[in-house]
């Protein structure tokens, strides 16, 4: 989305230097990215097609720059508001202005503003109204005056102003001093740091609270350092608080905190010492403790939210980038027992062909087999995708026997996650696609398409419904949504989109294309038929020069008029490719079919940037390549159909369905995922499960325990390992170096936490 340049806040060189040092990036690359973003360029476009300008910064670095720019521009806007507010009060000194202008930390900025922020009526406010400010200033300045403390206090006694005695005057003055201490930016920063560094998260059960399943039992009497508490435990405690089962606070030894505060306030001994000590204690217990606790509770929430969102991002990325079965005809089955199994056939492009209902589990297996055979033969079905919901294993067994009986060795069966399929079925997207079909049939179609191309189908579903998050409903929903949107955008543009088959739901994630423009593309395609070239996009309403520039390279046209339209080569570089082909005395289409001809190329004769030329040659060697892994189906144990069949000691093959901070969940084909605790993942030390496992990965696991009553299965990968490097059954294992998306998630979490 293009920015209004009039609204863009310029950043001073000092801030740019700060960002560059923080992200360890060169200033020229940072400036180039900032300029491109301000001109309306998207992150995927900059990362892929503007490498010469940025010095080959990748998507990780560009995304971090984008978010840091937003952070500091918001900071500058807030700074101006604060300066104006203090100036209007007539209290903006040169020293204060210099401190406000110098800070690059939002918390410190708010601390500096705190004494000048409009506030509710406090004890200090009341004391000031009673004329006790001079006495408070005597205590605060700690300078002997012409009269003693007691003489000054006596002079301020006034029953008419509700100051009946000296003690009342001194108490009011202490209230003013306590507030002054609590509003001191340096004091707040030091107290905040000590509470975070040394404070303990203490969880307790609310008396008489109902926790029938004892979900929060481990937190009834719980304590852990605030500095190191993992996000999943912080989120669990917060959920317990939200459900009114737990309460929690941050505890610290009062003596330690008072020992920190006293030297910052007391500068010399005098008749003020006793009262300043009392004011310091009052400040900590009545004002500062609760205030700093509130700030740290928010910071701990932000930190745990960020970690949980990072886990969600990583899992979502792996689900979206799961290996596609490809353009083959598929029969999707939404399993059911009494209500039957809904089946739907789609062709190799995902086009809906036919649907039916079969009842293989209610005495009508023969009829069900006949219907399956008819659809398989009629539509040349190559794969049968079975949803992993209720009756999944029973349906899988029926299909297995059917394929064996009919000797259909060319047809394979796969169990597919149906998480979110019901959400899609009732969505506006599904209603637009299939207005005349029942919800259950839409679900079967979605299951079939998920096997063909998980990315294209899952973008139609709210990512929070896909089932790969950790405490996803407890985290900041706005931050979660924005973060997941960037993951989807990154995956879609990394893979590329077929302009002639993509739904508007997929097209809207292409760089530069909005939802409205995506709908316009589909409408144009419906009215005019297939796109024959990328240039034809310019005829679509809403696609101007800027949108075309951003989107064209990520859109593919198979068998079009221009061979390069099927590749990731941007139209702006077509002339360069023509020069390359001309130098080799071969047509472009022949060059694409015979990439070995590029070995004869003399690169020195082309006036093009090194990065751009390298990318073009790499694309010509593997035109339109898909970055996703090759499809491999898991092989579930046919003898294990329910949790009752699972026995300790069994070795099973399964699919990782979710990766959390404390372990990974694995589907072993019994409609109940088992947990591989982090301690059972690897024989070598790992900090997080995501170092070894990813969602969608096929693994071998050993059963440690299985409880049918509680529906809990404990699994181990480590038990099958012999040596640090081995990953048994890991056919889809992540390979070093880490992908851009992995690096992006890690860096995004790191920089957010640092703030």
- Across 524-550, average pLDDT: 96
Q: Would you state the pLDDT for residue 450? A: 94
For residue 582, which phi and psi values (nearest 5 degrees)? -65, -40
Query: pLDDT digits over 181-236, tens only?
Result: 999 999 999 999 999 999 999 999 999 898 888 889 999 999 999 999 999 899 99
Range of the domain at 51: 5-116
Q: Do 218 and 103 have their domain in common?
A: no
Confidence of residue 755 (pLDDT cuts 50, 70, 90): very low
User: Is residue 753 included in any domain, yes or no?
Assistant: no
Q: Do 615 and 691 have their domain in common?
A: no
User: Is residue 83 included in any domain, yes or no?
Assistant: yes
Q: Are strands 674-677 and 712-716 parallel, antiparallel or unpaired?
A: parallel
- Across 65-94, average pLDDT: 95
**Average pLDDT, rounded, for the chain:** 90
Residue-level length of the chain: 755
Query: pLDDT digits over 143-162, tens only?
Result: 988 899 999 999 999 999 99
Q: Do 423 and 502 have their domain in common?
A: no
Q: Which two tokens stand for residue 139?
A: 């205590």
Q: What is the percent of the chain where pLDDT is above 90? A: 70
Q: Would you state the pLDDT for residue 9? A: 60
Q: Do 510 and 555 have their domain in common?
A: yes
Own/partner contacts of 290-293, CB < 8 Å, gap of 24 or more, are 291/182, 291/188, 292/188, 292/191, 292/192, 292/195, 293/195, 293/249, 293/250
| Per-residue CA distances from 261 to 181, 190, 540, 600 (Å) | 9, 8, 66, 74
Q: Would you state the pLDDT for residue 63? A: 95
Q: Do 35 and 103 have their domain in common?
A: yes
Q: Do 676 and 608 have their domain in common?
A: no
Q: Are strands 497-498 and 555-556 parallel, antiparallel or unpaired?
A: parallel
Confidence of residue 636 (pLDDT cuts 50, 70, 90): confident
Print burial letters for 298-321: b (CB count within 10 Å at least 16), e (below 16).
ebbbbbbbbbbbbbbbbbbbbbbb
Q: Would you state the pLDDT for residue 504? A: 94
Contact 348, 724 (CB under 8 A): no
| Residue 163: DSSP 8-state | B
Q: Do 420 and 510 have their domain in common?
A: no
Alpha-carbon span 151 to 148, nearest angstrom: 5
Q: Would you state the pLDDT for residue 8? A: 55
Omega before residue 153 within 30° of 0, cis = no
CATH number at residue 655: 2.40.50.140
Q: Would you state the pLDDT for residue 296? A: 95
User: Is residue 732 included in any domain, yes or no?
Assistant: yes
Contact 356, 375 (CB under 8 A): yes
Per DSSP, what are the bridge partners of residue 555? Answer: 497
Query: Among the three residues 587, 621, 655, which one is the final residue of a domain in this structure?
Result: 621
pLDDT surpasses 70 at 754: no
| Poorest-pLDDT segment among 281-285, 476-480, 487-491 | 476-480
User: Is residue 319 included in any domain, yes or no?
Assistant: no
Query: pLDDT digits over 258-299, tens only?
Result: 999 999 999 999 999 999 999 999 999 999 999 999 999 999
Q: H or E stretch including 664?
A: strand 663-667
Q: Would you state the pLDDT for residue 673? A: 87
Q: Do 508 and 544 have their domain in common?
A: yes
For residue 597, which phi and psi values (nearest 5 degrees)? -65, -25
Q: Do 339 and 441 have their domain in common?
A: yes
Q: What's the sign of the alpha-carbon dihedral 180, 183, 185, 189?
A: positive
The radius of gyration of the chain from alpha carbons, rounded to an integer in Å, stands at 32
What residues contact 634, with CB distance under 8 A and at least 6 apart? 414, 415, 653, 654, 655, 669, 698
Contact 677, 717 (CB under 8 A): no
pLDDT surpasses 60 at 750: no
Q: Do 502 and 565 have their domain in common?
A: yes
The model's pTM is 0.81
Confidence of residue 397 (pLDDT cuts 50, 70, 90): confident
CATH number at residue 436: 3.30.420.140
Contact 379, 351 (CB under 8 A): no
User: Is residue 110 included in any domain, yes or no?
Assistant: yes
Q: Do 595 and 691 have their domain in common?
A: no
**Ramachandran region of residue 214, left (φ > 0), alpha (ψ -120 to 50) or beta?**
left
Q: Which carries the bigger pLDDT value, residue 41 or residue 670?
A: 41
Q: Would you state the pLDDT for residue 311? A: 87
User: Is residue 463 included in any domain, yes or no?
Assistant: no
| Residue 701: DSSP 8-state | E
Q: Would you state the pLDDT for residue 415? A: 86
State how many domains the chain has.
Answer: 5
**Ramachandran region of residue 280, left (φ > 0), alpha (ψ -120 to 50) or beta?**
alpha
Alpha-carbon span 87 to 537, nearest angstrom: 53
Alpha-carbon span 418 to 450, nearest angstrom: 9
| Poorest-pLDDT segment among 82-86, 357-361, 411-415, 514-518 | 411-415
CATH number at residue 48: 1.10.10.650
CATH number at residue 562: 1.10.150.310
User: Is residue 104 included in any domain, yes or no?
Assistant: yes
H runs (alpha helix) in 321-349: none
Query: Among the three residues 233, 251, 269, which one is the final residue of a domain in this structure?
Result: 251
Query: pLDDT digits over 41-76, tens only?
Result: 999 999 999 999 999 999 999 999 999 999 999 999
- Across 691-713, average pLDDT: 89
Own/partner contacts of 223-226, CB < 8 Å, gap of 24 or more, are 223/251, 224/200, 225/198, 225/199, 225/200, 225/201, 226/195, 226/196, 226/199, 226/200, 226/201, 226/250, 226/296, 226/300
| CB-count burial class (<10 Å; 0-12, 13-18, 19+) for 519 | middle
User: Is residue 603 included in any domain, yes or no?
Assistant: yes
Q: Do 433 and 348 have their domain in common?
A: yes
Angle between helices 273-282 and 133-141 (to 10 degrees): 100
Angle between helices 27-38 and 59-88 (to 10 degrees): 80
């Amino acid at each position: 989305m293009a920015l209004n340049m009039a609204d863009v806040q310029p950043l001073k060189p000092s801030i740019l230097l700060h960002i560059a040092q923080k992200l360890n990036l060169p200033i020229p690359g940072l400036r180039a990215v900032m300029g491109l973003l301000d001109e309306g360029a998207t992150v995927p476009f900059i990362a892929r097609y503007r490498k010469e300008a940025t010095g080959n910064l990748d998507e990780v670095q560009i995304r971090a720059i984008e978010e840091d720019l937003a952070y500091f521009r918001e900071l500058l806007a807030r700074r101006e508001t604060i300066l104006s507010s203090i100036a209007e009060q007539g209290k903006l000194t040169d020293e204060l202005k210099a401190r406000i202008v110098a800070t690059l930390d939002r918390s410190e900025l708010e601390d500096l503003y705190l004494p000048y922020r409009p506030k509710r009526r406090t004890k200090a406010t009341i004391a000031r109204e009673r004329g006790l400010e001079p006495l408070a200033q005597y205590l605060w300045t700690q300078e002997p005056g012409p009269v003693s403390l007691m003489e000054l206090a006596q002079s301020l006694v006034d029953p008419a102003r509700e100051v009946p005695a000296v003690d009342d005057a001194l108490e009011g003055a202490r209230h003013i001093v306590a507030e002054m201490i609590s509003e001191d930016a340096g004091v707040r920063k030091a107290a905040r740091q000590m509470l975070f560094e040394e404070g303990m998260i203490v969880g307790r059960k609310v008396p008489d609270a109902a926790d029938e399943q004892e979900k929060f039992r481990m937190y009834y009497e719980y304590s852990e350092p605030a500095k190191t508490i993992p996000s999943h435990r912080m989120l669990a405690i917060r959920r317990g608080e939200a459900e009114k089962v737990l309460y929690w606070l941050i505890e610290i030894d009062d003596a330690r905190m008072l020992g920190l505060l006293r030297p910052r306030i007391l500068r010399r001994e005098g008749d003020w010492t006793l009262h300043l000590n009392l004011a310091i204690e009052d400040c900590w217990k009545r004002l500062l403790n609760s205030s700093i606790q509130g700030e740290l509770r928010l910071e701990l929430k932000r930190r745990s939210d960020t970690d949980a969102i990072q886990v969600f991002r990583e899992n979502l990325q792996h689900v979206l980038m799961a290996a596609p079965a490809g353009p083959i005809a598929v029969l999707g089955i939404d399993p059911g027992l009494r209500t039957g199994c809904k089946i739907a056939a789609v062709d190799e492009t995902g086009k809906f062909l036919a649907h039916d209902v079969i009842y293989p589990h209610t005495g009508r297996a023969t009829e069900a087999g006949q219907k399956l055979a008819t659809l398989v033969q009629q539509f040349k079905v190559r794969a049968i995708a079975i949803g992993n919901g209720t009756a999944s294993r029973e349906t899988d067994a029926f299909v297995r026997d059917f394929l064996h009986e009919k000797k259909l060795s060319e047809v394979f069966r796969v169990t597919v996650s149906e998480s979110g399929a019901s959400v899609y079925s009732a969505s506006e997207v599904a209603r637009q696609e299939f207005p005349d079909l029942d919800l259950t049939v839409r679900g079967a179609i979605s299951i079939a398409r998920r096997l063909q191309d998980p990315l294209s189908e899952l973008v139609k579903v709210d990512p929070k419904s896909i089932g790969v998050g950790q405490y996803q409903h407890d985290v900041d929903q706005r931050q979660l949504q924005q973060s997941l949107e960037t993951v989807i955008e990154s995956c879609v543009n990394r893979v590329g989109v077929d302009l002639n088959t993509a739904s508007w739901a997929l097209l809207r994630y292409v760089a530069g294309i909005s939802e409205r423009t995506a709908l316009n593309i589909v409408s144009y395609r419906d009215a005019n038929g297939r796109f024959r070239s990328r240039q034809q996009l310019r005829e679509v309403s809403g696609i101007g020069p800027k949108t075309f520039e951003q989107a064209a390279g990520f859109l593919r046209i198979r068998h079009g008029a221009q061979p390069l339209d099927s590749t990731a080569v941007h139209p702006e570089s077509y002339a360069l490719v023509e020069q390359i082909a001309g130098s080799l005395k071969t047509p472009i289409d022949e060059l694409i079919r015979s990439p070995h001809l590029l070995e004869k190329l003399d690169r020195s004769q082309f006036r093009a940037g090194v990065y751009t030329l390298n990318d073009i040659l790499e694309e010509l060697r593997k035109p339109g390549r898909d970055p996703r892994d090759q499809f491999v189906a898991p092989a579930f144990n046919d003898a294990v159909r329910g949790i009752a069949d699972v026995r300790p000691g069994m070795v099973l093959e399964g699919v990782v369905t979710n990766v959390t901070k404390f372990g990974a969940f694995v589907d072993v084909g019994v409609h109940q995922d088992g947990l591989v605790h982090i301690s059972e993942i690897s024989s070598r030390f790992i900090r997080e499960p995501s170092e070894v496992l990813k969602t969608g990965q096929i693994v071998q696991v050993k059963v440690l325990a299985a409880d049918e009553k509680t529906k809990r299965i404990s699994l181990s990968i480590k038990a099958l390992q012999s040596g640090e490097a081995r990953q048994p059954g890991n056919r889809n294992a992540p390979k070093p170096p880490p992908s851009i998306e992995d690096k992006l998630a890690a860096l995004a979490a790191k920089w957010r936490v640092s703030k």
